[in-house]
Amino acid sequence: MKFNTKVIHGGQHHDPSTGAVMPPVYQTSTFVQTSPGQPINPDYEYSRAANPTRTALENALASIENGTRGLAFSSGLAATDCVLRSFKAGDEIIAMDDLYGGTYRMFTRIYKDSGIKFHFVDMNNLEKFKSLINENTKLVWVETPTNPLMKLADIQEVAKITKENKILFAVDNTFATPYLQKPLDLGADIVMHSATKYLGGHSDVIAGALIVKDEALGEQLHFQQFATGATLGPMDSFLVLRGIKTLHLRVERHCENGGKVVEFLNNHPKVKTVYYPGLPSHPYHEIAKKQMSGYGGMVSFTFVSGKKEDAIDFLEKLKVFTLAESLGGVESLANHPALMTHASIPEDKRKEIGITDDLVRLSVGIEDATDLIEDLKQALA
């Protein structure tokens, strides 16, 4: 199947008992057994282990990422946490230097205390990256594009190195979505999504996902999910599955509107730097052209003045864009990373990687692009 068909039909089946086109919401915690240890359906005993609505979503996730196993979690951070539970004290993890604030917080304030050593590095400096690898290195964690500076990593090149050294390689594909980028096809072992964002697409659910190609790894991660309990409920599974069915249409419009917003911002006298992988001036534009089929709807920018006050004034004046955390919904959102999504990263670390106090991040929605640009124009005036 082509992608546009997969999002609707991939891994999906009509309900066998009623013929329902959409999987029902199986709002149940447990399933009847005819004799001890003999459930009517061997796949379902207790909903923490498996639920038919969640299974439908997980099959769709595996299909759109070209994986063998999908797992749905209560949040993107729960999905990340499940991966990290595979490691123990003394193990080392190499991560991209520009990460979502919640991921950085988990790595440095939760798992660092358990004895796992973390290295943060610019993944485009492959020699520096390779110099950090040793016999204790167990995982490489990459976001591409990153949140909020839109840095990229060459997935194929990183995958070559991890395979040579027999290290697991995980990619956070939240910003690109499987419509624009397929990390498993490029050599990654694990794909993570904050399904709250583009997969759900309507700002009405918190969810996470993992997708893998190796069946044994999928079984291991499922056991860790089952044993620790961070599963996605049936109603939330239904909402994400419904969102996936329009993913291709929404992301096309996100890309279209994103490009128009970038063109406006890039020519505005008050805007200093626009961070967007579709710009030829973007330092990793060639990587984006190589591994992405489009450039998405996430845009960040700074002000010529460099003043935090100008960023806040701009954000307070927006009328169509909504000032709120999160991203990837049908509505356009605006965010101040230093005060909002990345506030948990120490100030000196933010400055080191380029998250300045005048940086604004936009999640460009699917409204009429003219209205979005007019809103930006009046807020910048």
Tell me whether residue 100 is one of the annotated catalytic residues.
yes
Residue the block writes with tokens 């309990």: 229
pLDDT of res. 29: 97
pLDDT of res. 179: 98
* CA distance linking residue 262 with residue 274, whole number of Å: 7
Rg of the chain's alpha carbons, rounded to an integer?
Answer: 21
Tell me whether residue 242 is one of the annotated catalytic residues.
no
pTM assigned to the model: 0.96
The residues spanned by each domain of the chain are 3-243, 248-380
- Give 153-212 pLDDT, tens digit per residue: 999 999 999 999 999 999 999 999 999 999 999 999 999 999 999 999 999 999 999 999
Tell me whether residue 151 is one of the annotated catalytic residues.
no
Looking at the domain that runs over 3-243, which CATH code has it been given?
3.40.640.10
Tell me whether residue 179 is one of the annotated catalytic residues.
no
Beta bridge partners of 225: none
pLDDT of res. 42: 94
> Would you call 5 helix, strand, or coil by DSSP?
helix
CATH T-level assignment (fold) for domain 248-380? Aspartate Aminotransferase, domain 1 (3.90.1150)
Residue among 81, 154, 172, 189 flagged as catalytic: 172
Please name the residues in contact with 302: beta carbons below 8 A apart, sequence gap of 6 or more. 271, 272, 273, 356, 358, 359, 360
Residue among 197, 213, 250, 350 flagged as catalytic: 197
Judge whether 3-243 and 248-380 match in fold: no
pLDDT of res. 271: 98
- Number of H helices and E strands in the chain, helices first, is 14, 14
Please name the residues in contact with 28: beta carbons below 8 A apart, sequence gap of 6 or more. 47, 51, 234
pLDDT of res. 349: 86
* CA distance linking residue 304 with residue 40, whole number of Å: 66
What parts of the chain have a pLDDT lower than 50?
A: none
Residue among 26, 44, 100, 198 flagged as catalytic: 100
Residue among 15, 48, 122, 138 flagged as catalytic: 48
* CA distance linking residue 51 with residue 380, whole number of Å: 49
Roughly how many angstroms between the first and final C-alpha of the chain, as a whole number?
A: 48
